[in-house]
Structure 1
Amino acid sequence: MERVVVIGTGTMAAGIGAGFMAAGLSVAFLGRDAAKAQASLASAQAIAATLPVVGARGPVDHATGTIDHWRDWSNVVWVVETVAEDFELKRALFAALDERVPDHIPIGTNSSGFPISRIAEGLRTRARMFNAHYFMPAHLVPLVEVALGADSDALLGEAVCALYRRIGKKPVLVRKDIPGFLGNRIQHALMREALSLIDSGIASPEDVDAAVRYSFGFRYAAAGPVLQKELSGWDSMARAAEEIYPSLSNTSTLARCVAEKIAAGKTGMKAGEGFRRWSPEEIASERAAYEKRLKAAFGVLTMDGEG
């Protein structure tokens, strides 16, 4: 039975593990605390029960333990860490994995902020190390960005992508170690302009959301930006670009409307207020609706064998 080792005990770890469980792979959860690892296993099993079955499913043994005491690397095909976004912590963890994990097993970090080139710098087996970036919620969003570091083995990266395709994910291979990989670079370009429009008083946060969701965001579930312009024509896009590009925001600093919110402690739902106030009931309702919409969008993506 093929096994995946997930290192970490937070929400992301449970979502990542659940994806492999739904595909019938064994998953071991490792952390600094065995009780927390056991809780992550239980959470992952509950999530996996809500996911579509991918491939054959049979009886699968799952395991938990602490990083320091785990020694069973038999049948392991992938190791992915999800610990806190702390560079020194990740650096120390990868140095330990460099020595403990057999050389043929690829290792990934879910970090979105620290490139694998920095995390794995100088390590003996850095060629088998990659960024493996998921998006929240990890069990629902199909994309996984597999990013190569300066010394990563591209062929092994392709093999990691093949593993993700087997479990129903949609991996992309990022061939250069750049900040933000693909998804976050595109997302932040959009967010910079969206917040600039809010700062300028041109549109409300609610209208910005509506403009994205019910126009090109709606279409992007059916076709990405490049295919969409293949359908509609690059010449019309070019004519619009001549008019729009000069007025787009190119600021390198955080938008005023967000900086002020953060300074006031209004960081969104987790604080009970962002651009608006949120009651506990509203938070629960909106999160449930969000997951429901994501599942519906996934159904669109998987039409005609895609996804």
Structure 2
Amino acid sequence: MSTQQSVVVIGGGTMGSDVAAIFYAGGWNAQVVEPSSEVRGRLAQNVAAAADSIGVFGAGGSVDARATIADIDWSDVGIVIECAPENLKIKQAIFRELDTAAPKHVPLTSNSSGIPISKIGEQCATRGRMLGLHFFMPAHWVPAVEVVRSEFSDEAVAQEVSAIMRSVRKKPVQVKRDVPGFLANRIQHAMMREAIALVDEGFASAEDVDLAVRYGFGFRYIAAGPLLQKDLAGVDIHCAAAAGIYPYLSNNTEPSPLMQNLVENGDFGVKSASRKGFYDWDEAGIEREQARYQAALKKAMQILRDEDDANAR
């Protein structure tokens, strides 16, 4: 990819600035559309800091804050990534404007974590170039990004977007239908439903559930995904275990009482005023845990980068 290409990111909040940092680190110019003058004022600093934390591997990138879509310079834009709030009406309004403002060859993507791109773009004429492009928080650290097609999406555009993401060191995952939750969140929520049910029903504490995942089966996931791991261990063993376990797994169709009670009480975790969630927090504990979490992500990313570099040789 040319180092002079630019990405347009709609929304300059945490996710938007981290997405811009991915491209900035790879030498792309980043135009970030953000209506808040206060947020625009610190965008360049936030993007550069996030890019520095993952390692800048390109050259010639820049960050330009724009107040509106009308302010975008389209001359060198290679992709648009919408990172606006998770609200269907807001996203639809943005895509209606992009539908006519963006040159027809530019892919238009949404970082929605759950709203289908078919819904977001349903009032647009150029739906063939519209895709979901779902990043995981923190976007600049987690390598995977889901490339989500609707029934209207052009497969060639999906492949083009995947190539762009590979060029900035991301791992694109092809999702062929924009089902609710896409791919990763469906898998993640299936596990979370069981994890919370085990705590809710008194089988284990939150601490022991987290230990079981981090130091048990989750430990293996940096080396192999669940299906590859079963091929290595034996599908027959998993099938036999599944026959005895599946009948007892949670099949709730709504969030567990434990989680609903936490939300109703305003106990969202570290961001809540109560500083409560599944755990109780204080300021020192939050700072310590966030630092440990960032350090662990950095080491995990380096393991995967080393593997990629070895495979490329």
Q: Which moved more, 1:236-245 or 1:66-75?
A: 66-75
Partner deviation per Cα, 1:189-230 (whole Å, 9 max, x = no partner)? 000111111111101000000000001110000000011011
Structure 2 equivalent of residue 136 of structure 1: 137
Structure 2 equivalent of residue 304 of structure 1: 307
Structure 2 equivalent of residue 7 of structure 1: 10
Offset at residue 263 of structure 1 (A): 1.3
Q: Distance in 2 between matches of 1:203 and 1:197?
A: 6
Q: Which moved more, 1:101-110 or 1:294-303?
A: 294-303
Structure 2 equivalent of residue 231 of structure 1: 232
| 1:6–1:30 Cα contact (<8 Å) kept | yes
Q: Which moved more, 1:37-46 or 1:112-121?
A: 37-46
Offset at residue 35 of structure 1 (A): 4.2
For residue 184 of structure 1, what is the amino acid of its counterpart?
N
CA gap of 1:76–1:201, structure 2 versus 1, over 3 A, is: same
Offset at residue 275 of structure 1 (A): 2.2
Q: Mapping of 1:78-227 within 5 angstroms?
A: 78-227=79-228
Structure 2 equivalent of residue 287 of structure 1: 290
Offset at residue 34 of structure 1 (A): 4.2
Q: Percent identity?
A: 42
Q: Distance in 1 between matches of 2:260 and 2:72?
A: 46
Which secondary structure state, in structure 2, belongs to the residue aligned with residue 270 of structure 1?
coil
Which secondary structure state, in structure 2, belongs to the residue aligned with residue 28 of structure 1?
strand
Partner deviation per Cα, 1:221-249 (whole Å, 9 max, x = no partner)? 00000110111110111110111111111
Offset at residue 299 of structure 1 (A): 1.8
Which secondary structure state, in structure 1, belongs to the residue aligned with residue 7 of structure 2?
strand
Structure 2 equivalent of residue 75 of structure 1: 76
Q: Distance in 2 between matches of 1:213 and 1:62?
A: 37
Partner deviation per Cα, 1:138-177 (whole Å, 9 max, x = no partner)? 1100110010012011111111011111110011110011
Q: Distance in 2 between matches of 1:11 and 1:41?
A: 13
Structure 1 equivalent of residue 54 of structure 2: 51
For residue 33 of structure 1, what is the amino acid of its counterpart?
S
| 1:34–1:64 Cα contact (<8 Å) kept | no
Q: Distance in 2 between matches of 1:114 and 1:41?
A: 29
Q: Which moved more, 1:45-54 or 1:185-194?
A: 45-54
Structure 2 equivalent of residue 278 of structure 1: 281
Q: Distance in 1 between matches of 2:297 and 2:73?
A: 36
> Structure 2 length normalisation: TM-score?
0.94
Which secondary structure state, in structure 1, belongs to the residue aligned with residue 148 of structure 2?
strand
| 1:94–1:119 Cα contact (<8 Å) kept | yes
Given candidates 22, 25, 28, the residue that maps to 1:25 is: 28
For residue 87 of structure 2, what is the amino acid of its counterpart?
D
Number of aligned residue pairs: give it: 305
Partner deviation per Cα, 1:86-127 (whole Å, 9 max, x = no partner)? 111111110000010011000111111211000101311111
Q: Distance in 2 between matches of 1:97 and 1:222?
A: 40
Structure 2 unmatched ranges of 5 or more: none
Offset at residue 13 of structure 1 (A): 0.8
Q: Distance in 2 between matches of 1:189 and 1:256?
A: 16
Offset at residue 287 of structure 1 (A): 0.8
Offset at residue 58 of structure 1 (A): 2.5
Q: Distance in 2 between matches of 1:3 and 1:27?
A: 5
Q: Distance in 2 between matches of 1:122 and 1:68?
A: 18
| 1:111–1:132 Cα contact (<8 Å) kept | yes
Q: Does 2:48 match 1:40?
A: no
Give the alignment's Cα RMSD to 1 decimal. 1.4
Offset at residue 298 of structure 1 (A): 1.2
Offset at residue 68 of structure 1 (A): 4.4
| 1:131–1:146 Cα contact (<8 Å) kept | yes
Q: Which moved more, 1:154-163 or 1:277-286?
A: 277-286
Which secondary structure state, in structure 1, belongs to the residue aligned with residue 238 of structure 2?
helix
CA gap of 1:201–1:61, structure 2 versus 1, over 3 A, is: closer
Offset at residue 36 of structure 1 (A): 2.0
